[in-house]
């Protein structure tokens, strides 16, 4: 129900922004009031995301599994979809937020380490209103390539647009076909992936990179325009953070940080969990 609720909000939000409806209707998940746990959307593992990127590159080049002849219009739309999915995966933005971006909403910034990244202002007429999103460093490279692809780079131009500059409203037919060709339309539980799955991938990857601690929660909540509780309830797969490799990497990062109190706490917790898992494995032998 949460997926349907979110989709309806995006549709009505778009209609409201286009002044097709006078106001946003109230959309509620009635199951939430009944205490029924929300179902998480399917995500991608890191390996699956790498498979997706690899297949998309071949697909853009006209070497998809079902390709016979790919014309220039098809290739343009495929490139646009590839940039769109990469944008979602590297910012954690909502699908509707990305498609409403104009170039005036984006600025290239330089970090203290001299690395360039994108500072993105989410438009006001989106699900949670305006906020600032900071991208991964290398997304700036993709942004420059996207600008070169579309050719529409004035401040008031849409970032994701067709060759005539008209805003793209989504890839509702193309995306599932491409994911199916790549063997990634469904996850291991049989749940169907959508573009929104990349937002979940973003959150999970940040936990892997930064550790499972309050600082990461706060960073994600601010960047994704949500709350700690929403992240825990909807964006973190239970078990994803219990892998031995993740525990070890979290411990290692915490020791390297040293001064971070939350990191040290997480390191101790990770160490205790790892010891317990190893002891249990010995007993099973």
91 Cβ contact partners less than 8 Å away, ≥ 6 residues apart: 98, 118, 120, 133, 135, 136, 139, 202, 223
Higher pLDDT, 248 or 204: 204
**Tens digit of each residue's pLDDT (9 = 90 or more) over 4-48:** 666 676 677 667 667 787 766 766 565 555 555 556 789 999 999
Nearest Cα neighbor of 219 from 109, 92, 94 is 92
Pairwise CA distance, residues 276 & 282, whole Å: 10
DSSP state of 164: T
- Residue-range domain boundaries for the chain: 1-39, 41-196, 243-284
Is the pLDDT at 266 greater than 50? The verdict is: no
Q: What is the pLDDT of residue 27?
A: 63
Q: In sequence order, what DSSP letters do the residues of 79-120 get, joined into one string?
A: HHHHHHHHHHHHH---HHHHHT-BGGGEEEEE-TTS-EEEEE
Contact 40, 46 (CB under 8 A): no
Summarised one tens digit per residue, pLDDT across range 69-81 is 889 999 999 999 9
What distances in angstroms separate CA 166 from CA 28, 157, 242, one per listed residue?
32, 9, 45
- Looking at 40-44, 158-162, 198-202, 257-261, which range is the least confident one? 257-261
**Residue 125 binned pLDDT confidence (cut-offs 50, 70, 90):** confident
d(CA 82, CA 57): 8
- Please tell me the distance from the alpha carbon of residue 118 to that of residue 126, in angstroms, as a whole number: 19
Give the model's pLDDT for residue 246: 39
Helical H segments across the chain, by residue range: 2-17, 30-33, 46-60, 72-91, 95-99, 139-150, 174-181, 197-210, 214-224, 228-230, 244-257, 261-284
Q: The whole model's pTM is what?
A: 0.72
Average pLDDT over residues 209-224: 88
Residue 206 has pLDDT above 80, yes or no: yes
pLDDT grade, residue 277 (50/70/90)?
A: low
For residue 103, pLDDT over 50 is answered with yes
pLDDT at 107 over 70: yes
pLDDT at 18 (0 to 100) = 74
Q: Which two tokens stand for residue 201?
A: 């991938």
- Taking Cα atoms as reference points, which of 202, 229, 218 lies closest to residue 262? 218
Residue 98 has, within 13 A of its CA and on its CB side, a CA count of 27
245 vs 126, residue with greater confidence: 126
Give the pLDDT score at 275: 57
Mean pLDDT, the chain, as a whole number? 81
What is the second-level CATH architecture of the domain 41-196? Orthogonal Bundle (1.10)
């Amino acid at each position: 129900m949460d997926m349907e609720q979110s989709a309806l909000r995006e549709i009505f939000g778009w209609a409201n922004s286009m002044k097709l409806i006078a106001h946003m209707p109230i959309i509620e998940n009635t199951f939430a009031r009944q205490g029924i746990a929300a179902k998480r959307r399917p995500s991608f593992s890191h390996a699956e995301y790498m498979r997706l990127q690899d297949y998309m590159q071949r697909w853009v080049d006209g070497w998809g599994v079902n390709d016979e002849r790919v014309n220039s219009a098809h290739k343009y739309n495929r490139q646009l979809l590839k940039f769109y999915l990469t944008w979602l995966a590297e910012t954690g933005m909502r699908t509707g937020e990305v498609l409403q971006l104009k170039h005036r909403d984006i600025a290239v910034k330089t970090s203290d380490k001299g690395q360039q990244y994108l500072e993105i202002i989410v438009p006001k007429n989106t699900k949670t209103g305006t906020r600032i999103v900071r991208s991964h460093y290398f997304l700036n490279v993709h942004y420059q390539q996207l600008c070169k692809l579309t050719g529409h780079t004035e401040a008031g131009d849409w970032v994701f647009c067709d060759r005539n500059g008209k805003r793209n409203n989504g890839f509702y037919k193309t995306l599932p076909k491409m994911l199916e060709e790549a063997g990634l339309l469904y996850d291991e539980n049989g749940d169907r992936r959508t573009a929104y799955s990349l937002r979940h991938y973003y959150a999970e990857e940040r936990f892997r990179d930064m550790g499972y601690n309050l600082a990461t929660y706060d960073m994600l909540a601010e960047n994704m325009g949500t709350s700690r509780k929403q992240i825990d309830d909807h964006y973190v797969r239970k078990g994803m953070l219990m892998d031995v490799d993740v525990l070890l990497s979290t411990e290692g990062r915490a020791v390297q940080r040293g001064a971070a109190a939350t990191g040290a706490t997480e390191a101790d917790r990770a160490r205790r969990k790892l010891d317990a898992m190893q002891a249990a494995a010995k007993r099973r032998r």
